[in-house]
């Protein structure tokens, strides 16, 4: 009985409390609503800001990296991209992988544009020519990567960064930079030099000696001096023998797979028009050369290839 009485008293006391509370809520209705909203926004910011920052950082950086790798693969060094870097955006210390990666690149907040320069410098060495580079001597190797960074910078529309690599190459090893530039311009870099390097590398089974480097580097410098344009047979554009004859320059035909037949036909037509095969002693390479082209990316594949060097014969040279 006493228990029932005491609970009735506390209920009446509670009623006394509710009335002023009700008044308080009515008086400060909007203030309370704003306070609750503020608390919700505050807690979202406090607990979600890391996630938002990480999302924004990834959104700013990941497309840049994908774009630059794609341009490098398709426009700068086709056929010789061995791997695409896997990018890990680590916003927290715990997200840093336990295994050692290729490298750590830092992007200060608000300076995302500067990441281009770092990527232009390191994407070529990260994605390509990891083993092949061993066959080039020091200055040729540096020139090669300066040139690739320059071309990549240009293709990305970052001329300011690009020219710095060209200037560096011309300042430090002018002759070798020009060798690489001429090889790249005439498309001999991929079709002749890197192909030859990969063949030699396979023959050495990866054990490149100082003599291998010396011999190959001599060949690279020599090939740059041979006046010839490279024509890949099998593309969409038709190849006109008359135009090649009229041009008067030497020509290097390269074909893979079923297009080899067409190369043989084109060579015969050119020889009928006064062109001759460049002697092997003069070239330092087998001519014509037939072998296997090894693809490593995007999947391992092997196809036969053929390469033929032809130059205008005595008669044509005199006419010009």
Partner 1 sequence: MEDAIVVVSRPDKEKVEAILKKTGMPTEELKCSLCGEPITDLSRIRAIFPYHSALICCDKFECLVACRDKLILESAPK
Chain centroid to Cα 154, Å, comes to 13
SS3 101: coil
Q: What is the DSSP letter of 201?
A: H
Judged by CB under 8 A, the chain residues 142 through 171 that form the site for partner 1 are 142, 145-146, 164-165, 168
Strand 275-277 and strand 301-312: the pairing is antiparallel
130 binds partner 1 (CB under 8 A): yes
Question: Binding of partner 1 at residue 125 (CB under 8 A)?
Answer: yes
Q: If binding means CB under 8 A, how many residues of this protein chain bind partner 1?
A: 56
Does residue 232 interact with partner 1 by CB under 8 A? no
Task: Name the minimum Å distance from CB 129 to partner 1.
Answer: 9
Told to check if 71 binds partner 1 by CB under 8 A, we report no
Report the chain's terminal Cα–Cα distance, integer Å: 128
Helix (H, G, I), strand (E, B) or coil at 233: coil
Round to whole Å and give the CA distance between 153 and 120.
6
Q: Containing H/E element for 285?
A: none
Which x/- pattern, by CB under 8 A, does the window 32-61 give for partner 1?
Answer: -------------------------x---x
Among positions 71, 170, 199, 213, the unique one binding partner 1 when judged by CB under 8 A? 213
* Minimum separation from the CB atom of position 174 to partner 1 (A): 16
Site string for partner 1, 103-122 (x = CB under 8 A): xxxxxxx-x--xx-xx--xx
46: left (phi over 0), alpha (psi -120 to 50) or beta: alpha
Rounded to whole angstroms, how far apart are CA atoms 259 and 294? 16
Q: Where does this chain bind partner 1 (CB under 8 A)? A: 57, 61, 65, 82-91, 93, 96-109, 111, 114-115, 117-118, 121-122, 125-127, 130, 133-134, 138, 141-142, 145-146, 164-165, 168, 208-210, 212-213, 296-297
């Amino acid at each position: 009985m006493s228990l029932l009485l005491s609970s009735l008293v506390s209920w009446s006391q509670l009623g006394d409390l509710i009335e002023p509370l009700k008044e308080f809520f009515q008086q400060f209705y909007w203030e309370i609503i704003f306070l609750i909203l503020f608390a919700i926004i505050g807690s979202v910011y406090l607990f979600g800001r890391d996630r938002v920052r990480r999302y924004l950082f990834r959104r700013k950086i990941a497309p840049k990296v994908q774009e630059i790798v794609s341009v490098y693969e398709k426009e700068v060094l086709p056929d010789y991209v061995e791997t695409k870097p896997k990018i890990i955006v680590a916003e927290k210390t715990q997200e840093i992988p336990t295994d050692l990666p290729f490298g750590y690149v830092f992007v200060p907040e608000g300076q995302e544009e500067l990441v281009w320069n770092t990527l232009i410098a390191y994407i070529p060495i990260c994605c390509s020519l990891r083993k092949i580079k061993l066959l080039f001597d020091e200055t040729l190797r540096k020139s090669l990567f300066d040139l690739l960074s320059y071309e990549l910078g240009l293709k990305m529309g970052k001329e300011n960064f690009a020219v710095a690599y060209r200037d560096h190459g011309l300042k430090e090893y002018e002759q070798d930079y020009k060798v690489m530039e001429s090889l790249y311009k005439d498309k001999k870099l991929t079709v002749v030099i890197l192909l030859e390097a990969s063949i030699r590398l396979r023959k050495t089974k990866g054990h490149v000696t100082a003599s291998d480097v010396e011999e190959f580097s001599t060949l690279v410098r020599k090939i740059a001096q041979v006046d010839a344009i490279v024509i890949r047979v099998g593309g969409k554009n038709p190849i006109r023998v008359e135009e090649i004859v009229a041009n008067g320059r030497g020509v290097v035909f390269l074909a893979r797979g079923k297009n080899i037949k067409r190369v043989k036909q084109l060579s015969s037509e050119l020889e009928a028009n006064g062109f001759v095969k460049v002697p092997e002693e003069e070239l330092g390479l087998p001519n014509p050369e037939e072998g296997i082209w090894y693809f490593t990316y995007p999947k391992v594949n092997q196809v036969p290839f053929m390469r033929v060097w032809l130059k205008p014969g005595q008669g044509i040279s005199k006419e010009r």
